[in-house]
Amino acid sequence: MMDQGALQHVLAAPGVDPTLSDFNQLIWWLVLLKVGIVFVFLLLTTIFMIWLERRVIGRMQNRPGPNRAGPFGLLQPIADALKLPLKEDIIPRGADKLLFMLAPVISGAVAFVSFAVIPWGPEVSIFHHHTPLQLTDLPVAVLLILAMSSVGVYGIVIAGYASGSPYSLLGALRSAAQVISYEIAMGLAFVAVFLYAGSLSTTAIVNAQQHEWYAWLLPVSFVIYLFTMVGETNRLPFDLPEGEGELVAGYHTEYSSMKFAMFYLAEYINMTTVSGLATTLFLGGWRAPWPLSLWSGANSGWWPVLWFVIKVFILLFCYIWLRGTLPRVRYDQLMDIGWKVLIPVSIVWILLIATVRAWRLDTHSTAPYVVFGFVIVLILALAWMWDSAAQQRAARNAPSSPDDFADTAAPGEAAAPTASSAAFPVPPLDLPHYHGLGLEAGVGIEADVTHSDTSTKEVTGA
């Protein structure tokens, strides 16, 4: 009889592509070792990203980043991590205490679970046991990541509800609507990858990219996923749930100490997870890029871990670049991008990809040609309808004459809304105090403004 180590040695050699069956032969201490490696990697990545983000944005904005605690400020994230537990843990009097404490735990725990199915290397030998460099894999591993990202929103929504603050509640509702819209586009971007790989397993998807990455075969899906991964993680320019200019801090306004640190940690871990998923689905996973792939040992041993980490940090650097470059978009623009651009483009792209795949599998049938022609006609019809709607919208919002901008209302009365002012909701400016009516003496500095023969009071200062 062969022992377990010898059996594993016969079944798999180090450096080969792992399969789903390789995860059924792991021993318990090897699983715990992988869990510890993933946990430490995510914590160290978060600490390093906090330091890197401050340094890079400081350089982009021509100001110094952290440079006092340790060499090059490297100990600044450590100081922050030690400071947060020492802060006073405040729970609002009107908050639901159980849900208030449960929300950050949900966000943090779900963020760690999502990285479990990301492969970061081929099969290697660890203490004479051959094992894939991946915690686990499933036949529907990508769906697990989508499910975990959806469950993570519960932590945000519960935090906004339990805080008893209008700012927190508004941030939670924004996050729920944002995740719904962008998760649909993200799932549609994955469909093209599934059609080419023939599997939802992350291991199988990496194996299918042995000769060519899906970022080159499916560029539209890759670009759509890049948009959705920013929206999913609530990062600039899509950080509307945390818009400090509107909502103080959004859903975590009332949180402090370690509870706030859990939300902070979950955000950066989610950034690492979606970057790792983008690497797995579109950038060849742990496989070496060209021309390093010409080296016979590039995709064996421990070298693939280095290629995987480099790809992930390139995407994380893009997060920092976006934050230091782009301003926050309006909420209606955020929803328009998700529902009116990303989702329709994803649907049309999936129809094209499905037609091409069917054409390659069955070249004798006329059905793929019919579907392809229908897709082309549908694209042209959608483009024409989009252009017509844009022209009608521009004609409806454009003023017919310069006099439309003039205030033709009588003094003390509300001005009639014009087409241009109705395009975007603004706070009402026809309240009495805007015209100086109903103000007692000494409240503000008043000035007489003469309109023809009528005089009214207008507030010019306070």
The 10s digit of each residue's pLDDT in 191-208 is 999 998 888 899 999 999
Query: What's residue 301's pLDDT?
Result: 83
- To the nearest 10 degrees (0 to 180), the angle between helices 257-282 and 166-197 is 20
Q: Tokens at residue 301, please?
A: 């041993």
Residue, of 11 and 119, whose pLDDT is higher: 119
Q: How far apart are CA 183 and CA 190, in angstroms?
A: 11
pLDDT digits (tens, 9 = 90+) for 384-428: 887 788 788 788 777 655 555 444 445 555 455 554 444 555 555
Could you give the 3-state DSSP secondary structure of residue 447? strand
pLDDT digits (tens, 9 = 90+) for 334-381: 888 888 889 988 988 888 888 888 777 766 666 666 776 777 787 778
Residue, of 225 and 412, whose pLDDT is higher: 225
Q: How far apart are CA 18 and CA 23, in angstroms?
A: 9
Sign of the dihedral through C-alpha 204, 206, 207, 211: positive
Q: Tokens at residue 228, please?
A: 């959705």
pLDDT tier at 258 (50, 70, 90 boundaries)?
Answer: confident
Find the mean pLDDT for residues 314-331.
89
Q: How far apart are CA 31 and CA 68, in angstroms?
A: 40
Find the mean pLDDT for residues 68-82.
86
